[in-house]
Amino acid sequence: MAPKWDTVADALKKADGEEVLLRGWVHWIHKLGKKAFIRVRDHTGVIQAVAEKASLSSEEWKAVKKLTRESSVEVRGRVRSDPRAPSGKEVVATSVKVFGYSPPFPIWGREDVDFLLDHRHLWLRSRRMTAIMKVRETLLSAMREWLKREGWWEVHPPILTASAVEGGATLFEVKYFDKKAYLSQSAQLYLEALIFSLEKVWSLTPSFRAEKSRTRRHLAEYWHLELEGAWYSMEDMMEVAEELVAYAVRRAVEERREELELLGRDISKLEPAFETPYPRITYDEAIEILKRKGFPVSWGDNLGADEERALTEEFEKPFFITHFPKKIKAFYMKEAPGRPEVVLGFDLLAPEGYGEIIGGSEREENIDRLLERIREEGYDPANYEWYLDLRRYGSVPHSGFGLGLERVVMWVTGIDHIRDTIPFPRFRGRIYP
């Protein structure tokens, strides 16, 4: 049996005079003669404990005098309402036990980005990082719940792979016994194999991209939630994508309001995302909008972060862009009927400048066209023989998409850099801690 103690949240619910036993870390401490004010932090919040020399054993008072920020403690005491206390209640300590002292904690919260990244293992204790991690968990568990409810099977594709999905330029190579292998960029091809038995599948895996440049929205390792559905058209899959996102964002706002407020998030800007359908524009329309806004773009160009940002100014909720030029999209995307220069691909962009959070498509079923595209990409068709088999043995129309969890967390929390959406971010130049 796990030992029993009260959380800070439990303590805040207690009536005056009730006893509590708290365990946590010293968030802040102020010593004043024969009194010490100790703010104790646990995973639910912070509460102030007041320790007085007269109420503690002499051993305990000695320990209190040595206490520093981030020491770990157990405080027994009684709850007392006090309007001056930060949370309206405090704990009058009757006993204080120290588990581990802390030398002066290196972080105060005003350090520069690289210092905080070097001390990430400690910075994770901050209320900011704690709030973001909670929002992240809520978003993911809401999505998992939605997928279960809608009948999608969770599956576990491999991470070590023999071939590229999203272009050779961002592959991480690893030594695989006496062969060369790669870290997976996307589980998609494996999910495509699994739809022939389970039909509606999804997976959550780390995906790896050797992004050469450092940007605010690219990680080298990110968590990728991918779906694949047999018999689904692009339009069907877009409906799945918007319902999934709308549900997760609503749940995050309902359950993590306090954390979002701590992060300074303007929640009213998230509310439009609760309602589906989301607007849809084609790539052609996107180019027209950008031209009108004075961007020097022409048809066939990739939409970069700046272009996406400009497009998001036109919408107050997430929106889709569909029908991209074939030459800027991956080999597996299906040609649009009657328009061989475009594919049935879609991106979902989050508003307020955040941009792409989902990329998906209907998949090419025609084996000859698929083979031609594999060759055009410069891939070795031998590595894709198994994938081509999926078109040989009872091929079905199907579609899928991938959602970058960190991209969604970034948007929902309203933070301006992807690095804080994940406990230990990986990007070029950063592998420690």
Which residues of the chain form contacts with ligand 4AD (CB under 6 A)?
A: 165-166, 186, 188, 209, 211, 218-219, 222, 224, 226, 356-360, 400-404, 406-407
Stretch binding Mg ion (CB under 5 A), from 103-111, 250-258, 354-362, 392-400: 354-362
Q: How far is the CB of 332 from ligand 4AD (least distance, A)?
A: 8
> With CB cut-offs between 5 and 8 Å by kind, which of ligand 4AD, Mg ion, none does residue 401 bind?
ligand 4AD
Sign of the torsion formed by the C-alpha atoms of 375, 380, 386 and 387: negative
Residue closer to ligand 4AD, measured from CB, 199 or 356 = 356
Alpha helices in 223-365 (DSSP H): 234-255, 257-262, 283-292, 305-312
Q: How far is the CB of 211 from Mg ion (least distance, A)?
A: 12
Residue 227 in 3-state DSSP? Answer: strand
Instruction: Give the type of residue at 246.
Output: A
Residue closer to ligand 4AD, measured from CB, 9 or 169 = 169
Q: CA angle 138-416-165, nearest 5°?
A: 70
Cα gap 134→252, rounded to integer Å? 9
User: How long, in residues, is the chain?
Assistant: 433
User: Residue 108, Cβ neighbours under 10 Å: how many?
Assistant: 7
Q: Specify whether the CB–CB gap between 199 and 152 falls below 8 A.
A: no
Stretch binding Mg ion (CB under 5 A), from 7-15, 79-87, 183-191, 358-366: 358-366
Residue closer to ligand 4AD, measured from CB, 96 or 238 = 238
**Member of 77, 355, 359, 360 binding Mg ion (CB under 5 A):** 359
Instruction: Give the type of residue at 333.
Output: M
Nearest 5°: phi and psi at 147? -65, -40
Residue 2 in 3-state DSSP? Answer: coil
**Residue 123 is inside which H or E element, if any?**
helix 120-123
> With CB cut-offs between 5 and 8 Å by kind, which of Mg ion, ligand 4AD, none does residue 219 bind?
ligand 4AD
Residue closer to Mg ion, measured from CB, 24 or 355 = 355
> With CB cut-offs between 5 and 8 Å by kind, which of Mg ion, ligand 4AD, none does residue 229 bind?
none
Residue closer to ligand 4AD, measured from CB, 351 or 359 = 359
For residue 3 the two structure tokens come to 């030992």
Q: How many residues bind Mg ion (CB under 5 A)?
A: 1
Residue 152 in 3-state DSSP? Answer: coil
Q: How far is the CB of 126 from ligand 4AD (least distance, A)?
A: 22
> With CB cut-offs between 5 and 8 Å by kind, which of ligand 4AD, Mg ion, none does residue 218 bind?
ligand 4AD
Cα gap 49→95, rounded to integer Å? 11
Residue closer to Mg ion, measured from CB, 201 or 348 = 348
Give the closest residue to 203 by CA, choosing from 250, 135, 138, 147: 147
Stretch binding Mg ion (CB under 5 A), from 55-63, 215-223, 338-346, 353-361: 353-361
Residue closer to ligand 4AD, measured from CB, 90 or 226 = 226
Q: How far is the CB of 361 from ligand 4AD (least distance, A)?
A: 6
